[in-house]
């Protein structure tokens, strides 16, 4: 019997699982046969970090790198100080081992080109695209001081309806702005939403990381970036059409945001399975579990809005993120939230 481990979070799976059900990472084999024929699990040891680091260095004699904030499959993110403006910024740098990969470089440049066009209080913008003398390509973004939505959920569990709907309305407004520029996100998930304190001491939701964003236009140069059949995104939040590798539009983001909303209110995912792969299949063949299976007193009108947004066929969902946000606010029927979102959702 073989077992596989998620290299990101360390969770071990048995059977045919290929992706981590928690973060969507591809699983790696971790089991070996013992002398008695039983399976012995290898001790999990986090992968040794790359020796590459920019901490305490300066980039282009302008950005003083303070510390590493995190890393992804193709980039590292640092907190830095912009010495010319005296502001804290976040810098995303393409991993040196991928610097020779033309497609990876193209992806980062494309991310900057798209995100530089975004200008909205609930979307994290790109401020600058640069390249160091030794060939490192980097993006400069505002440094958001706050907490990831995924971390907040982990601390407090399911969110109150008024708070959840307010953040969802803000995200809908930000996404509608992106969609109006023919940009879709393609990787919406709680880890890509930052809760940032605002001037009125209320946290606001900011959609981050348009790293998998794709302009919603036929462009041969962009089509070359991903081979046919390769699916980009996080399995648990993918729309059925994204799983199938079909063309995507704003309604795919609406679906993903509805899954995010479902998890916000229930602490669960709307499709069950022993692995991310099984959950993906469930999305293609079945219907999502009702919210009230987990939260019995959840308002029926609000549940109906989420179910419509998670319809299998895009034609059955809301046409725009703005419509989705308006429907959420109307169904929740919380006067204070309705008033605060009135200017965003019109």
- Burial class of residue 276 (count of CB atoms within 10 Å of its CB; 0-12, 13-18, 19+): buried
**Amino acid 341: pLDDT:** 96
Which segments of 123-203 does DSSP mark as H helices, in order?
Answer: 149-156, 161-180
**Amino acid 201: pLDDT:** 82
> Angle, to 10 degrees, between the axis of helix 161-180 and the axis of helix 250-266?
170
**Amino acid 9: pLDDT:** 66
**Amino acid 211: pLDDT:** 55
Catalytic one among 23, 60, 134, 187?
A: 187
Backbone dihedral region of 119: left (phi > 0), alpha (psi from -120 to 50 degrees) or beta? beta
58-142 and 147-341: identical CATH topology: no
**Amino acid 260: pLDDT:** 97
**Amino acid 142: pLDDT:** 92
Q: What is the spatial distance between Cα 119 and Cα 41, in angstroms, rounded to a whole number?
A: 49
Residues with Cβ < 8 Å from 286, sequence gap 6 or more? Answer: 271
Compute how many other C-beta atoms are within 10 angstroms of the C-beta atom of residue 252. Answer: 24
Task: Name the strands in the sheet holding 203-207, side by side, starting at the edge strand that comes first in the sequence.
Answer: 147-148, 193-197, 203-207
> Angle at Cα 130 formed by Cα 124 and Cα 135, nearest 5°?
135
Taking the CA atoms of 233, 238, 239 and 244 in sequence, report the sign of the dihedral they define.
positive
Q: What SS3 class is residue 180?
A: helix
Task: Give domain limits for the chain.
Answer: 3-41, 58-142, 147-341
Taking the CA atoms of 256, 260, 266 and 269 in sequence, report the sign of the dihedral they define.
positive
Q: Which fold, 147-341?
A: Transferase(Phosphotransferase); domain 1 (1.10.510)
Active site residue 187: yes
Q: What is the spatial distance between Cα 182 and Cα 238, in angstroms, rounded to a whole number?
A: 19
Q: Low-confidence residues of the chain, pLDDT below 50?
A: 1, 31-50, 217-232
**Amino acid 27: pLDDT:** 61
Q: What SS3 class is residue 127?
A: coil
Q: What is the spatial distance between Cα 261 and Cα 142, in angstroms, rounded to a whole number?
A: 26
Backbone dihedral region of 61: left (phi > 0), alpha (psi from -120 to 50 degrees) or beta? left
CATH architecture type of domain 58-142: 2-Layer Sandwich (3.30)
What is the DSSP code (8-state) at residue 271? S
Instruction: Report the predicted TM-score, pTM, of the whole model to 2 decimal places.
Output: 0.77
């Amino acid at each position: 019997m073989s077992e596989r481990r998620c290299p990101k979070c360390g969770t071990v799976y048995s059977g045919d699982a290929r992706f981590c059900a928690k973060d969507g990472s591809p699983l790696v084999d971790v089991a070996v046969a013992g002398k008695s024929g039983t399976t012995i699990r290898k001790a999990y040891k986090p992968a040794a970090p790359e020796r590459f680091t920019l901490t305490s260095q300066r980039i282009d004699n302008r950005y003083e790198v303070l510390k590493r904030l995190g890393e992804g499959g193709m980039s590292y993110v640092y907190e830095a100080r912009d010495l010319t403006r005296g502001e804290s910024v976040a810098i995303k740098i393409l991993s040196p081992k991928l610097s020779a990969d033309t497609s990876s470089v193209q992806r980062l440049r494309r991310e900057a080109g798209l995100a530089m066009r975004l200008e909205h209080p609930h979307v994290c913008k790109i401020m600058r695209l640069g390249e160091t003398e030794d060939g490192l390509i980097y993006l400069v973004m505002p440094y958001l001081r706050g907490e990831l939505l995924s971390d907040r959920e982990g601390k407090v569990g399911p969110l109150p309806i008024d708070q959840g709907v307010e953040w969802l309305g803000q995200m809908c407004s930000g996404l509608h702005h992106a969609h109006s520029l023919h940009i879709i996100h393609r990787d919406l998930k709680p880890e890509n939403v930052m809760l940032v304190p605002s001037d009125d001491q209320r946290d606001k939701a900011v959609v981050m990381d348009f790293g998998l964003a794709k302009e919603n236009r036929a462009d041969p140069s962009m089509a070359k970036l991903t081979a046919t059949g390769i699916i980009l995104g996080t399995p648990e939040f993918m729309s059925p059409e994204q799983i199938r590798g079909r063309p995507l539009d704003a309604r795919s983001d609406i679906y993903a945001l509805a899954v995010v909303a479902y998890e916000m209110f229930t602490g669960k995912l709307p499709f069950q399975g022993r692995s991310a792969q099984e959950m993906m299949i469930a999305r293609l063949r079945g219907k999502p579990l009702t919210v009230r299976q987990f939260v019995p007193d959840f308002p029926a009108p609000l549940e109906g809005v989420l179910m419509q947004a998670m319809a299998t066929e895009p034609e059955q969902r809301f046409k725009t993120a703005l419509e989705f946000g308006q429907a959420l606010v109307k169904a929740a029927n919380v006067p204070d939230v309705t008033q605060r979102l009135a200017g965003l959702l019109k």
